[in-house]
Amino acid sequence: MMNFAKKLIHQNGIHPMNNNKKVKNVLVTGGSGYIGSILVRKLLEKGYKVRVIDNLIFGDEPIRDVKDKIELIVADIRDVQLSHLEGIDAVIHLAGFSTDPISQYDPRLTVMVNTIATENLAKITKESGIKRFVYASTCSIYFTLNPPSELPIYKETDNINPVSCYGITKRCSEQALEYMTDADFQPTVFRKGTLYGLSPRMRYELLLNSFAKDAFFKKQLTINGGGDIWRSMIDVQDAVAAYIKAIELPIEKVGGKIFNVADKNWNIMEIAQLVKNIAKETRDIDVDLKINPNINTRNYKVDTTPFKETFSFKPIRSIKEVLCEIWDHCENDPNHDPNNPIYYGDQWYAKFFETPKGKKFRRRL
């Protein structure tokens, strides 16, 4: 576990982590997104006051039923101002491009949104006197070219060399937060594994969600890389619980630290076989497995020990329950179209960038 703040332990004779002010008011950036739309509801259930900053590129439907219970600021994350953080006790920063294909579409834009905007938000947060800042990074930063045949299990303290635009911008943001960390600003970085599970802002490009969709509608799963690819993964409900715990745990446990946030390292063939078996058991669906040859794609394993120990992590539910929830949703909503571009970030952004709003969003300085 990487600790940004060790050098501050007894600075000026004062331990930097003694202030554990109870969090009541939370700012969530990207609060209408895949994680955010669930997180906002859970925070409300727990009695928090929630302010959301979101540009609503995917619309407001994911949070429409709770809009009267939150303070919604429709804004570009690049335009966050000091006034947006007035009265806030903690920031959970989810906004940004969240996949490799989207990030590669316009690397300049990705740098602006993922890195420069994050650094600016962090500076404003610190200026506002807010100590808790939880940042959504990714385990994709461990993907590098020419990995050894025997994959290492990456720890948070290992040297890394991300190669994708997505991974590089996330790593740059981590470094910006590291340089800002001091006694008054204690960010927590979540390097999350690949997410899965149903969300009001559903994403079918995510691995297990894609398998769930294809098993149900196509009765076939396509397995790339010969099946010999590894991913760290976590249920979106578990990720949401971790974000909330990050603002509730004593700050000395989470402040100035990076965590690999995942449940387990999964082999893709193992996941596909599990989905196949559960589809047969619960829906009497026979699923074929189509295996494609090895290709150069993300492939990594991570050590999750610090996360599991610090957060006392236990999965909320099983993968079987996750799959059945997705399948129930598909069965019970006759208007649900899994091929709608809104469920695929790269497709939706490609369409968005052709609109007047999208062109302005992309070309601004």
Active site residue 166: yes
Structural contact between residues 246 and 310, judged by C-beta atoms closer than 8 angstroms: no
Structure tokens at 103: 């990030």
| Distance between CA atoms of residues 164 and 128, nearest Å | 33
Count Cβ atoms within 10 A of the Cβ of residue 1 and give its class: 0-12 exposed, 13-18 middle, 19 or more buried: middle
* Nearest CA-CA partner of 125 in 91, 94, 93, 171: 91
Structural contact between residues 240 and 39, judged by C-beta atoms closer than 8 angstroms: yes
| Cα angle, residue 341 at apex, residues 340 and 345 outer, rounded to 5° | 135
Secondary structure class of 35 (helix, strand, coil): coil
Secondary structure class of 54 (helix, strand, coil): strand
| Distance between CA atoms of residues 226 and 268, nearest Å | 9
Catalytic residue among 135, 154, 166, 300: 166
Query: What residues does 154 pair with on adjacent strands?
Result: 302
* Active-site amino acid positions: 166
